[in-house]
Structure 1
């Protein structure tokens, strides 16, 4: 009898469990509606066919950043089963040059194929940001709903707040009880409304920040994710260590300099830095960088000369879409990547020596041993390359014809050994920021001139000598006389070396003659017309220079350039 009762109770328990499950199914039926059973079978098929497809992520190890483009070296670890396996490698730059992909490594497999593809659903940054916006928007909607519920509770409570007199059976005790009830409920609702209002403000502020972040990222978040599909064949289960290398566009670096001069008797302190930027679609996290002065976008193939023909120019009507001079446009040669220089740098003892400079035949590589993180599409990352103390000679330059101020310059010899590239420089003199300048290494001179800014304590002035200025007719010609007085004053408490520059016009017509009358010891370049005076001014010293010349030309002609 007891056994029969136990079986009956167990059966009843199973019935209850079944009913609960049925109720749960009914509650969730909107979710399952339109979700046929064959989808479950399809899911089983997907699982079966996906057994030989493995997703792995590339781990960036070393990135060589050229002036334009970057070479990314990464490692991939994967385990494959017997047969053919497709390795889907993520964390790949979406700006990849697909022709540059190189795959190597260790493992008993045969590589059947390598293919790059875009995954338009795999942008992790956008997905994470959109998920955050979606969650926060749901939070805002939930809080708004709770605020409406609290408002309705208050309205319903107030609608039933009318109290009748004792004739209707309301005693003082009942009245006190009702007042206590209303006070408690209104306080509870009011407290909840304040909390919800505060939560609503915080959630809306967060939502606005997320939306601004999404907008500020612009096209970077619209970039599809990059993936490499690597097909391998294996006779047995195998573990692979894959070395992956490729070139990506939308990356590079530019030099930036800080130049500090304590005074005109000290060496120049030059900080050589790099602004490293990239918008490859992936973040470079804690990677070792090598900065190369090579620029693959310029091309590495020498141009070929074709025959140059000359003929008499005969004007012809310009055909629509034709070139103005009839010459074909020169096509830039295809870029050839510089060979990667293998790293041989060890860890250094001091922070001042974290860069190893490697001179190759065609470029200079700066191997940065400290790991850096460079965010895709973010602000450029400032990377310190080297610090130099440069022996310098200081001189002042002045061109009174165009500017009354004198400019302090530092002249550096043997500058080519410092591997400087053209770039902007922040100038500091005597502990004060004085402005920006440019450093260029395209000049073939053996010295580098760096402008350190204006010095208001050196006064220059250029004025016309009115008593010399004249215009006379000589036969069929006109002769004009020009004269200028240049005055200099050194108000500093120390002597200075200064170079004064001016010029005399150059004739490009045999009918125009230029005659130099007085240049007061200046160096004169007849080809350029440039005049240079090299002077030393003592403290509080004054100096006066005179420049005179004549120009003769035919009557009735309008002469330009005087």
Structure 2
């Protein structure tokens, strides 16, 4: 870090004293540095705050090795003491390789992994060399030492030395093979770590920014610099734990945090926010809607339009379709009018490189309304559904892990912003103690009218639901009824018993029966639909 200090005339008359003071101040400031103190993380961006200690009389502060992707328009500088006056702020971007002391944390970890890989590679080479030597000895490749002069020649080898040599070779070879296998495993693990850490094209990876602040600090102070940077993000995730006997539901809020800004967030005060600073701050305004007489097109345009109409349509156009609270320890939750923030009490470290950190933010105890839902014509099964009460605060959409009575039931999606969630609820898997049986659909047609000019078609459906629980359940049976979109097609439907809703989930023709089914009881449901239309009408039916 670079600092400039004002020196009084007395110091200027003593150059050695001024130099000593400058060296002392520079050394102290360099030791303190400009550390990251706090981060407010949004989906897709973050506000990073750095703190630098300034000595009395400082006129300049330099924040170097910052991410190149920071938003210069978002820079804010503030001092802890009111006497400090902040002047102009300058931002300079340069190559990381040319900036002194700005090696990225990611590159430092890559270099450390390369050193470990080199050491493991040398160990593997040494063990393989030792194995080659043992093979040479075992195959007689090394000649025995010559006998001393005058010694009597050996007439034969005893069995004891041969057995001892064989055992020694065996043990040594086995020990070295085990060491070689373990070294190769360490090498593979290090290579996987390096591959996971390597992220080419990371934002701001090859360049860094330097922010220089001109100021006047008559006394020692802390200078805070904050800036916005794109890329880091947190995504919501949820865990729902349901007690099917009492209907109590524990809804846990989780956060998956990751960042690849080029700098480590080491021991920082982390705050997560559901705000969206990257989104537009103003919605669209209505465009003018005017009516006027269409002018007659010129003859050339009429001829060109006729040629285009006569040309065959491209296949892509022909196939186009139109589609119709209780916060856990260590987290302070603040439900604002526009966003919900979670302040992590403990300091958190988020390394660069895309490694995801999972944090538990809050746990909401809820009382859910349980029901058993079935759609017999599509699936003759019953599913346990928990209908949730309205949730306070902002809940971004995200995946939810579903647990029923302590057992994992599967994955779902929680989207409180979608009104359908409050009608459909969260499904916690099949209820095997509720049995659904479906009779085959019956359909027959007959001619109507004096001249047999009309057609009357009748469709009959029926189902049976049995409750094998030792307690009553709230049952919901869903079915689709035909809906006419043409005045020439008339539909008349009859149900037994009468359904509770004929437009469930705000969909016309979606029939819902809702009733309590006692323990060991069964219920019958049936629907009869009559369709009347002219014989010459080509009926288009979609199910």
* 1:343-383 CA distance string (max 9 Å, x none): xxxxxxx9834322223342121222122222333442221
Q: Hey, what's the Cα distance between the residues in 1 that align with 2:129 and 2:57? A: 53
**What's the counterpart of residue 280 of structure 1?**
261
Q: Hey, what's the Cα distance between the residues in 1 that align with 2:151 and 2:353? A: 75
The answer to whether the aligner puts 1:255 opposite 2:227 as a matched pair is no
Q: Equivalences for 1:59-458 in 2 at 5 Å? A: 59-77=35-53, 87=62, 89-90=64-65, 92-93=66-67, 95-105=69-79, 111=88, 113-120=90-97, 122=104, 123-137=107-121, 158=142, 161-163=145-147, 169-172=149-152, 204-219=184-199, 224=205, 227-232=208-213, 241-308=222-289, 352-413=328-389, 415-417=390-392, 419-444=394-419, 447=422, 449-458=425-434
**Residue 457 of structure 1: how far off its partner (Å):** 1.3
Q: Equivalences for 1:476-515 in 2 at 5 Å? A: 476-515=453-492
Q: Hey, what's the Cα distance between the residues in 2 that align with 1:416 and 1:275? A: 21
TM-score under structure 1 normalisation?
0.69
Bigger shift: residues 189-198 or 113-122: 189-198
Larger Rg: 1
Q: Hey, what's the Cα distance between the residues in 2 that align with 1:125 and 1:276? A: 20
**Residue 268 of structure 1: how far off its partner (Å):** 1.5
Change (3 A) 1:94 1:384: farther
Whether the aligned pair in 2 keeps the contact of 1:112 and 1:233 (CA below 8 Å) is yes
**Residue 151 of structure 1: how far off its partner (Å):** 9.9
**Secondary structure of the residue that 1:525 maps to in structure 2?**
coil
Q: Hey, what's the Cα distance between the residues in 2 that align with 1:418 and 1:365? A: 10
* 1:254-274 CA distance string (max 9 Å, x none): 222222222332422222222
TM-score under structure 2 normalisation?
0.71
Q: Hey, what's the Cα distance between the residues in 2 that align with 1:246 and 1:264? A: 51
**Residue 159 of structure 1: how far off its partner (Å):** 5.3
Q: Hey, what's the Cα distance between the residues in 2 that align with 1:458 and 1:535? A: 14
**Residue 551 of structure 1: how far off its partner (Å):** 0.9
Change (3 A) 1:370 1:531: same
Whether the aligned pair in 2 keeps the contact of 1:264 and 1:394 (CA below 8 Å) is no
Q: Hey, what's the Cα distance between the residues in 2 that align with 1:412 and 1:222? A: 41
Q: Hey, what's the Cα distance between the residues in 2 that align with 1:433 and 1:194? A: 45
The answer to whether the aligner puts 1:551 opposite 2:526 as a matched pair is no
- For structure 2, the residue ranges without an aligned partner over 5 or more in a row are 1-25, 98-102, 155-161, 310-315, 318-325
**What's the counterpart of residue 472 of structure 1?**
447
Change (3 A) 1:77 1:140: farther
**Residue 283 of structure 1: how far off its partner (Å):** 2.7
* 1:140-175 CA distance string (max 9 Å, x none): 6677788889999999994583448xxxx5335x99
Q: Hey, what's the Cα distance between the residues in 2 that align with 1:275 and 1:263? A: 28
Whether the aligned pair in 1 keeps the contact of 2:436 and 2:464 (CA below 8 Å) is yes
**Residue 390 of structure 1: how far off its partner (Å):** 0.9
Q: Hey, what's the Cα distance between the residues in 1 that align with 2:438 and 2:135? A: 83
Counterpart among 510, 518, 531 of residue 511 in structure 2: 531
- For structure 1, the residue ranges without an aligned partner over 5 or more in a row are 1-50, 176-182, 319-323, 326-349
**Residue 281 of structure 1: how far off its partner (Å):** 2.6
